[in-house]
Structure 1
Amino acid sequence: MSDTSILVLLGSLRAASSNRLLAEAAVDAAASDVTVTVFEGLAEIPFYNEDIDIEGHVPAAAVKLRDAIAAADAVLLITPEHNGTIPAVLKNAIDWSSRPFGVGSIVAKPVAVIGGAYGQFGGIWAQDEARKALGIAGASVLGDLTLSIADSAGRFTPQHPRDDEEIMTKLGAVISGVTAAAQAA
């Protein structure tokens, strides 16, 4: 069987964010026949606007995103929680990938949502909002694959998540579930 490719869309733009560390750990948690790639460039994508989403004139950064999602077998969305919801860069990525309506790159793509936040619930509101937006966009949301890490900044300060056995076990289970869904699609 050929490799399964999982694209990570990361909602934190900070270089040292706990969710970026989680994305790095996701790369390490994957089996040898699974390639996990973190998409870089969400900050460069302009806010979605139908006036600039014109065939042949779509901004290059948006084309890069759409192409990366289309080429992946599945998507892992990793989100912090900003004011109780998802960061604007992730919502924007979902919007760009949902177009053209009905045939966007995210349509029918298996997608799992995980993440961590400062609060005691680990960003579950943001994750729920992301699942809602992805479902409306047409993604095949894997709602049973979850991972919410409370106080992720504090938890990952003394050690990288790849050195946290509990996190790596849970993250490995999510990656395995995403892989299975991609192979079944």
Structure 2
Amino acid sequence: MMNVTRGRTPFLLVFLACTGLLAYAYYAQFQLGLEPCPLCILQRLGFMLMGLFALLGAIHGPKAWGRWVYGVPILLGAGWGMTTGARHVWLQNLPADQVPDCGPGMYFMLEYDFPLMDILREAFTGAGECAEVDWSFLGLSMPMWTLIWYVGLAVFILWALVVNSRGSRPLEQ
């Protein structure tokens, strides 16, 4: 049986997961007509960062501590995604009277060259449109699913990094 924590395999699995998740996000946007809110776009950045470093790790196939060179940015991308995902889920679960007012949309802010810090501040403090639930699967909204994926991928890559840094091998029977 193949050990998913060894060699290039964990990086390849994370890359494939991130690619599939981003592909579905763009499918939902361009084919299903679901316009992403600012926090949706920020969550995509986390998957892009994770996918990029996972691809680099899969290509390079580092040994020992070199795995952490790719693993740490993957974990940082997951941390970014968990932060934005948690904020998004929180906004979606607020009572309607407590949802913050909508500011200008992200595309508007990007088109008119708003400073990056203003865009991030608006996404995290305003962004009332992020409270709308336009899509759900098994009773969970898309931000909840992304949060689950971020946590799952972070746990998986951390497990793969720790198991390989200890040099542990599976018990043979």
The structure that is helix-richer by fraction is 2
TM-score (norm 1): 0.28
Larger radius of gyration: 2
Task: Return the structure number with greater relative CO, CA threshold 8 A, min gap 6.
Answer: 2
TM-score (norm 2): 0.29
The structure that is strand-richer by fraction is 1
